[in-house]
Amino acid sequence: MKKAKIYIPTKTAMQSGRGKLKRWVLEFETKDPAINPFMGWETSTDTLEEVILKFPSKEKAIEYAENNNISYKVVEPKKKEFVIKSYADNFLKN
């Protein structure tokens, strides 16, 4: 049985907005990662690790996994807490 992880990817350091982070991703887990003896890189014979499927909602991703007999694990996104402060707060001592 194929195994997959369903999650929302985090933004990179080069992104300032969070607009593209609304899509859920279904990514397959590799079966046999190994180290290539010639180059020292990680290698695998499992081609499913190249497949990344994007869905508009978590429910659609779960439905796809269940319909295609894929064992899945859902990773919920962490909630961000925004601390609103003014520029002057940088110079005030607490």
pLDDT score of 10:
82
Q: Are strands 34-35 and 24-28 parallel, antiparallel or unpaired?
A: unpaired
> What gap in Å lies between CA 63 and CA 15, rounded to an integer?
30
Structural domain boundaries of the chain? 2-10+20-90
- pTM over 0.85, yes/no: no
Helix (H) or strand (E) holding 58: helix 58-67
pLDDT tens, residue by residue, 30-79: 777 788 788 888 777 777 878 899 999 999 999 999 999 999 999 998 88
Q: Give the architecture-level CATH label for domain 2-10+20-90.
A: 2-Layer Sandwich (3.30)
